[in-house]
A and B are shown apart, each in its own frame.
Chain A
């Protein structure tokens, strides 16, 4: 029962925050929000021992039985990692944001969105029912949209928010379709039950489409190539948001989803190829592009993309353990997934710290352009130290946690060569190595171009006395900095308590999770991976030193290509074309719209009549027709048709009167006295009304539509009439059930009224009648107002317009 409450608490808090803010109206609101993630983090942490002993927390709140949708939460090792990141990073980010955001900002809104995100993200990782998961998934997109556009007065913020929304929601919809396909195959919405059926699935026709669609959702969310383009633009968000959503948590949702579905799809080679190759491509492209950025935050964005690709490729290599290949030592590949999960945690620590540091630099100096920065190490020693730890960790240097997971990554990239699948060769470790070199280069850029060297312009901040920020702002990055170092020295604590249960969740079919845990050691001999690292440092240093010389290649294609341009072009085209298309048919002319509606009606009903329905008629139960009834009907037909051809408005109105009164006659003949009475009264008043307006309106000019229009109108009219007629005849000939009117014939005993029609109106369906009177009243009011309304500017004024 704890987990559903965990999910709901942030939502409730986010509802509460705006009201609280109207009373507090200051930074204190941040301190009031802070306990929410902190308490959640503590509660979650208390579950760690339970999970480490192999237990899972599963809880179901029955919800929609008919649709098989239940609020099922599932806390296992995998969701625990994400849960701890969400609440832990959430705590740090809230604390950091208290100092980062000024009092003038709309803080109530900010924390409301942040809590909304926190709740949705917890929902994503704890939901077992895929449809519930999908809803939370889209909610994270929505809250991300709101947070990116937090400074909505900026054009770039709005554009970035829109881009992120469009891309992630497109992927999300694909994922939803994938989930529905999974339901089609398995008959369940529960991920755990799908895992149980995993072996029977690969032969199903829907298996591959479902897999690709779910991957689409994961790749768009985790900013994998070529969908990564939204992440750099999302950096328009306030820095705490970037640190939280766009590096530590939300972008990890796709990785979580991939890890979650490894037991389901891992047996497919296509899964291995897609995840591994897309991951590697993203890793390379992201790191390569990070080097060319001048904005520190954009650099971090590309580095995040690259690191996400790294984790993704590790999960891909890890899923190779599920492949049915004889003679392969599976622990090599499970070790890759282990490294992926380990790096997932490490990345959140060092990237979160780096984002916060960049935020501090931006906050204190007002710029984050590396061309303007330099030499800050002297002024901001603490900030510098944390930045150093974060960057070196990201570059994969000891003694920081990134070194450990990076070594494991290099080992995995070497190991996968021996998998023996087509297309898997030595190029994989080469790509990994090249990407790592670029990673090393941009990490050095962060450290050395920001904190060392001369200031390249006359720095205003030297005069102002640039210095470390207030201690409060440093608390959160310092904690992360301590983790970066701490995890290097005690990685196996993490392995035992956190990663072991997570591995059990990723490989449920492998039995003993102990065998899946890699013993992490900082020193593991001079193995190939270490040689690769030494090579990275060597080549990376050279590249960094000669950065200015070779940076020119970014202007040469294909290195200058930006996927962004495709997006922009597509969007502009789409907008332009739909605008033109809409303008073409939405002309504002009523008769055009009538034409569309009726043509659609004719197309649908005409098709149904021709191909679907059986045209069976049954005239045997028709009542006999007397001669005077014939005459009435003939009069009506003649009057109706005549209206079309008369030249005078007056005659048309009178002919309409003829129609109305003949209808009244028909009602008499057809045993409907009440209708006849009403019809006579109403028809009289209507005719009077027509004649009244007749006085005020000009006579109608003969309409001379062009011939094709006339033909089309005639066709529509005749076709509509015929369809109504034929449908009515079919219905009369094929009654499916008896009329219910017998019930009303007890009106005498039920209501005391002898007139059945009156009893229905005044008693059985009195509420309807009352509302009908309300409609009449509203109509009457409308008429009254329109008549009494004074001409606003006078008739003359309008004519001159």
Chain B
């Protein structure tokens, strides 16, 4: 399971990096979103997978999955949401102000 998820993480990182290297705002923002997914899964995998029940003490059973990565990821999900939302609005704003929807146009605008 860990190996499989790690492979998935690798693929997600490849896609995310490729998107980050493009010029269109929406593609870049999608890249950041996918990168967050990849990293969340990576952190979870690092703690070991399916080593016990869900980390709820009320559940039956004596072993639980590692709760620390889960707590970290929970924080990360929320933050990455904030980042995505902010970037989206920023892209929207730049488009409104300059009519540019990609980085090269913005750059050209500021050079003039």
Measuring CB to CB, which residues of chain A are less than 8 angstroms from any residue of chain B? 587-591, 594-595, 598, 619, 621-625, 629-630, 633, 636-637, 640-641, 643-644, 649, 652-653, 656, 659-660, 663, 666-667, 670-675, 678-679, 682, 685-686, 689-690, 693, 696-698, 700-701, 703, 705, 713-714, 716-718, 720-722, 724-725, 728-729, 731-732, 739-741, 744-745, 747-748, 754-757, 760-761, 765, 768-769, 772, 775-776, 779-780, 782-783, 786-787, 789, 791-792, 795, 798-799, 801
Whether A700 and B103, one on each chain, are in contact in the complex, defined by CB atoms closer than 8 angstroms, is: no
Whether A656 and B34, one on each chain, are in contact in the complex, defined by CB atoms closer than 8 angstroms, is: yes
CB nearest to B55 among chain A residues: A756
Whether A741 and B89, one on each chain, are in contact in the complex, defined by CB atoms closer than 8 angstroms, is: no
- Contacts A622-B2, A725-B7, A728-B6 given: A757-B70 contact, CB under 8 Å? yes
Whether A717 and B81, one on each chain, are in contact in the complex, defined by CB atoms closer than 8 angstroms, is: no
- Sample of 11 more A-B contacts, CB < 8 Å, known A685-B81, A725-B9: A594-B21, A629-B1, A637-B8, A659-B34, A686-B85, A703-B23, A703-B27, A722-B10, A782-B86, A787-B89, A791-B97
Give the CA-CA distance A644 to B49 in the complex, in Å.
Answer: 29
- Contacts A633-B8, A741-B68, A786-B93 given: A724-B42 contact, CB under 8 Å? yes
- Contacts A671-B53, A754-B56 given: A594-B13 contact, CB under 8 Å? no
Give the total number of A-B pairs whose CB atoms are below 8 A apart: 282
Give me the 8 closest cross-chain CB pairs, A-B, nearest first: A725-B10, A721-B14, A779-B82, A756-B67, A717-B18, A756-B55, A760-B71, A623-B1
List residues of chain B with CB within 8 A of the CB of A623: 1-2, 48-51
Give the CA-CA distance A624 to B51 in the complex, in Å.
Answer: 11
List residues of chain A with CB within 8 A of the CB of B85: 685-686, 689, 779-780, 783
A256 to chain B, nearest CB (A): 53
Among A588, A690, A739, contact of B68 (Cβ-Cβ < 8 Å): A739
Whether A674 and B107, one on each chain, are in contact in the complex, defined by CB atoms closer than 8 angstroms, is: no
Whether B89 and A783, one on each chain, are in contact in the complex, defined by CB atoms closer than 8 angstroms, is: yes
Give the CA-CA distance A633 to B77 in the complex, in Å.
Answer: 20
A650 to chain B, nearest CB (A): 10
The A-contacting residues of B in range 10-27, CB under 8 angstroms, are 10-15, 17-27
B42 to chain A, nearest CB (A): 6
Among A619, A659, A722, A744, contact of B67 (Cβ-Cβ < 8 Å): A744
B86 to chain A, nearest CB (A): 5
Give the CA-CA distance A720 to B2 in the complex, in Å.
Answer: 19
Give the CA-CA distance A655 to B35 in the complex, in Å.
Answer: 14
List residues of chain B with CB within 8 A of the CB of A745: 55, 57, 64, 67
Whether A590 and B65, one on each chain, are in contact in the complex, defined by CB atoms closer than 8 angstroms, is: no
The A-contacting residues of B in range 59-103, CB under 8 angstroms, are 64-68, 70-71, 73-75, 77-79, 81-86, 88-93, 95-99, 101, 103
A606 to chain B, nearest CB (A): 14
- Contacts A623-B2, A644-B18, A663-B40 given: A757-B74 contact, CB under 8 Å? yes
* Listed A/B pairs (10) with beta-carbon separation below 8 Å: A591-B22, A623-B49, A630-B4, A643-B30, A672-B44, A716-B18, A728-B45, A780-B82, A780-B85, A792-B97
Query: Counting chain B CB atoms within 10 Å of each CB, which of A697, A747, A768, A769 scores highest?
Result: A697
Give the CA-CA distance A640 to B14 in the complex, in Å.
Answer: 9
Give the CA-CA distance A107 to B45 in the complex, in Å.
Answer: 66
Among A622, A640, A653, A799, contact of B12 (Cβ-Cβ < 8 Å): A640
B109 to chain A, nearest CB (A): 8
List residues of chain B with CB within 8 A of the CB of A678: 74, 77-78
Give the CA-CA distance A624 to B49 in the complex, in Å.
Answer: 10
Give the CA-CA distance A604 to B91 in the complex, in Å.
Answer: 33
CB nearest to A703 among chain B residues: B22
Give the CA-CA distance A630 to B8 in the complex, in Å.
Answer: 11
CB nearest to A739 among chain B residues: B66
List residues of chain A with CB within 8 A of the CB of B55: 671-672, 745, 755-757
Give the CA-CA distance A739 to B63 in the complex, in Å.
Answer: 14
Whether B47 and A739, one on each chain, are in contact in the complex, defined by CB atoms closer than 8 angstroms, is: yes
B71 to chain A, nearest CB (A): 4
- Contacts A697-B92, A741-B47 given: A679-B6 contact, CB under 8 Å? no
Whether A670 and B44, one on each chain, are in contact in the complex, defined by CB atoms closer than 8 angstroms, is: yes
Give the CA-CA distance A660 to B81 in the complex, in Å.
Answer: 11
Among A644, A689, A690, A701, contact of B15 (Cβ-Cβ < 8 Å): A644
Whether A689 and B84, one on each chain, are in contact in the complex, defined by CB atoms closer than 8 angstroms, is: yes
Whether A673 and B56, one on each chain, are in contact in the complex, defined by CB atoms closer than 8 angstroms, is: yes
List residues of chain B with CB within 8 A of the CB of A722: 10, 14
Give the CA-CA distance A700 to B13 in the complex, in Å.
Answer: 22
- Contacts A640-B15, A700-B26 given: A672-B65 contact, CB under 8 Å? yes
List residues of chain A with CB within 8 A of the CB of B4: 625, 629-630, 633
Whether A656 and B33, one on each chain, are in contact in the complex, defined by CB atoms closer than 8 angstroms, is: yes
Whether B58 and A754, one on each chain, are in contact in the complex, defined by CB atoms closer than 8 angstroms, is: yes
List residues of chain B with CB within 8 A of the CB of A787: 89, 92-93
Whether B96 and A795, one on each chain, are in contact in the complex, defined by CB atoms closer than 8 angstroms, is: yes
Give the CA-CA distance A673 to B68 in the complex, in Å.
Answer: 14
- Contacts A739-B68, A772-B75 given: A729-B81 contact, CB under 8 Å? no
Give the CA-CA distance A648 to B56 in the complex, in Å.
Answer: 43
Give the CA-CA distance A587 to B70 in the complex, in Å.
Answer: 40
Give the CA-CA distance A783 to B10 in the complex, in Å.
Answer: 32
Among A633, A641, A693, A765, contact of B5 (Cβ-Cβ < 8 Å): A633
Whether A640 and B34, one on each chain, are in contact in the complex, defined by CB atoms closer than 8 angstroms, is: yes
Whether A732 and B6, one on each chain, are in contact in the complex, defined by CB atoms closer than 8 angstroms, is: yes
Whether A728 and B42, one on each chain, are in contact in the complex, defined by CB atoms closer than 8 angstroms, is: yes
Give the CA-CA distance A701 to B27 in the complex, in Å.
Answer: 11
Give the CA-CA distance A640 to B19 in the complex, in Å.
Answer: 11
Whether A721 and B10, one on each chain, are in contact in the complex, defined by CB atoms closer than 8 angstroms, is: yes
Whether A675 and B67, one on each chain, are in contact in the complex, defined by CB atoms closer than 8 angstroms, is: no
Give the CA-CA distance A780 to B91 in the complex, in Å.
Answer: 15
- Contacts A643-B19, A670-B65, A672-B44 given: A729-B103 contact, CB under 8 Å? no
B41 to chain A, nearest CB (A): 7
Whether A732 and B26, one on each chain, are in contact in the complex, defined by CB atoms closer than 8 angstroms, is: no
List residues of chain B with CB within 8 A of the CB of A659: 12, 34, 37
Whether B26 and A697, one on each chain, are in contact in the complex, defined by CB atoms closer than 8 angstroms, is: yes
- Contacts A594-B20, A643-B15, A776-B82 given: A622-B70 contact, CB under 8 Å? no
CB nearest to A728 among chain B residues: B6
Whether A740 and B14, one on each chain, are in contact in the complex, defined by CB atoms closer than 8 angstroms, is: no
Whether B78 and A772, one on each chain, are in contact in the complex, defined by CB atoms closer than 8 angstroms, is: yes
Among A594, A622, A673, A768, contact of B54 (Cβ-Cβ < 8 Å): A673
A572 to chain B, nearest CB (A): 26
Query: Counting chain B CB atoms within 10 Å of each CB, which of A690, A705, A756, A795 scores highest?
Result: A756
Give the CA-CA distance A640 to B17 in the complex, in Å.
Answer: 12
Give the CA-CA distance A757 to B45 in the complex, in Å.
Answer: 16
Whether A641 and B15, one on each chain, are in contact in the complex, defined by CB atoms closer than 8 angstroms, is: yes
Whether B6 and A725, one on each chain, are in contact in the complex, defined by CB atoms closer than 8 angstroms, is: yes
Give the CA-CA distance A587 to B65 in the complex, in Å.
Answer: 47
List residues of chain A with CB within 8 A of the CB of B81: 682, 685-686
- Contacts A623-B49, A772-B75 given: A652-B83 contact, CB under 8 Å? no
Give the CA-CA distance A622 to B4 in the complex, in Å.
Answer: 9
Give the CA-CA distance A752 to B107 in the complex, in Å.
Answer: 55
List residues of chain B with CB within 8 A of the CB of A701: 24
Give the CA-CA distance A745 to B53 in the complex, in Å.
Answer: 12
Give the CA-CA distance A729 to B97 in the complex, in Å.
Answer: 46
List residues of chain A with CB within 8 A of the CB of B57: 745, 747-748, 754-756
A768 to chain B, nearest CB (A): 7
Give the CA-CA distance A779 to B40 in the complex, in Å.
Answer: 20
